[in-house]
Amino acid sequence: MASNRGRVVEQAGPWGFVFFLAYIGAAIYFVSESNGSFWGVILGLLQAIVWPVYVIFWVLTAIGA
């Protein structure tokens, strides 16, 4: 009989897909706002990774935390 002791099963598949779609949407937005140069596109992709940090910062600032 197989034992499941010590096994960790990660059930975050649906959330990973949602986060992936959010990244793709943010990447499309930021790249379309860039000037189209190589470094502008790279900067847009980097902004797509870190935009949630800015959202949290401004939300906390707005509520006075």
How many Å apart are CA 25 and CA 27, to the nearest integer? 5
Low-confidence ranges of the chain (pLDDT < 70): 1-4, 9, 12
How many Å apart are CA 43 and CA 37, to the nearest integer? 10
Identify the pLDDT of residue 2.
Answer: 58
Identify the pLDDT of residue 1.
Answer: 54
Give the chain's domain count.
1
Identify the pLDDT of residue 4.
Answer: 65
**Residue 22 covered by a domain:** no
How many Å apart are CA 24 and CA 31, to the nearest integer? 10
Identify the pLDDT of residue 47.
Answer: 94
**Residue 3 covered by a domain:** no
**Residue 63 covered by a domain:** yes
